[in-house]
Structure 1
Amino acid sequence: MLIGLVRESVMQCFCHTCRAPIPAAAVHRRNIPITKVKTKPRTNQPKRVQFVTTEVRCQEKTRGGVRYEVILGEPEVKAAPPKKPLSPKNSVSVQDIEEKLKAAEERRQQLESSKIAALSAKMQKIEEASRKKDEQTTQFITATRDALEQKMGTVTEKREAYISDLKTKLKDHIENVEKTRLSLEQQTDEVRTAIEEKLKTATIQRDENLKKMLERLKEHEKHAELVRQNKAVLAAKAPSSG
């Protein structure tokens, strides 16, 4: 079937001005239903080749099939586009050159002015940023110093208050110690006085007791002497009476 289609396409003229008769076998094969034939997997196809116009001159039947003559047409040659005619150069005068130089100088001056202005603006921004940074640094230093002074003042106040409280407590303790010492001294004096009075009383009583004992001894001596005298008198009287 494919051979018939190819043969039919070849037998016809590409310009469709003339048509060659189609054999009956091709017509018969055209009516056969197309069936899919399993083929090998498709591979990369080569690049398409540009066909040139062909023309069939004659055909002749043979035993094996149909013999035909194909004449290839001449390849088409694309004509090159016509070149544009070159325009003649315009003559430039000295005045035009001076004006162009003057304009270029003005543009250069404007560019330099814009560069200087941009540089000035940039320097101004840098100075402004430096000034702001210095202000921020000064503010930070001032705030830090104030906070430190306030903290030191608070610490000093607390220290002074602590020292004052400690002095007050120490003074109260010293006063209490002094009161205790005075009280102890007073108690000691009282005890000493009481002891001295007791010793004095004991001495007086002892002296009185000694006097009493001496008086008793004297009385006892007197009584013993009287008893001795009485015994002696009695002893003297006893032999005379016998």
Structure 2
Amino acid sequence: MEVQNKSTEIRCQEMSKGGLAYEVILAEPVGVPVPRRADSPEKTPSVEEIQEKLKAAEERRRNLEASKMAAIAQKMAKIEEASRIRSEQTNNFIAATKEALDAKMETHEEKREAFINELRARLKDHLEGVEKTRLTLEQQTAEVYKAIEDKMTTAADKRDENIKKMLERLREHEEQVRKVRAGNQERFQQLESAIQEKLQQAADRRLLLEAEQKEKLRNHNIKLAEVRSAATAKVEEITKDIETKLTTAEQNREKEIQKKLDFVKKEVCRRR
């Protein structure tokens, strides 16, 4: 294999004052041959070697099984010990609980008997009180019934007497009403006659007043016509007098104006 020997080249160039520039030119890669490993001939194991390997494997398997069995036996022993301890604890707990429960039951039974006896005593006292109250109520009820019967009897007698009095008063009231109605009927007739008479008198007075009013109206119209005639004559007289006075005043005013004009003319002539 041909190998090209080309080295890497580095060039340096001053680009500015106090500064350098480097240019690196790398060489092309060089191919290096890899050494090849020589092939070794395969070795075939013998029968003895195979048997020894099998024996060793069997021995390892037996040892592994023995160790597993020992571990399992140890675990089983621990489990049995724990089960035994747990069983003992459970039995002890059951015994203690049973003893405590028996003691509580005995105490509860004693308290229950005492409570029942106390309730029986209270119930007996209560029943005796109820019986006494019932007897008292029966006696009071009998007394009340008797009093009510007496009052009902007395009330019935008084009621009959009151009914008789009320009937008597009702008859008296009806008689009084009949008399009042008769008197009212008579008074109504008298009142109606008086009203009719007053209505007739009012109609007569109305007719008389209408006649008087008509006469007064006629006289008023006559007087009004006379007053109007006199007023018309007076107005005409006053109008004539005013016209005469106006004519005289107009003439006098013209004379005064003429006098003033003559005076003015004389003054003008005199000043000239």
Normalising by structure 1, report the TM-score.
0.36
Tell which has more relative contact order, 1 or 2 (C-alpha 8 A, sep 6+): 1
Judging by fraction of residues, say which structure has more helix. Answer: 2
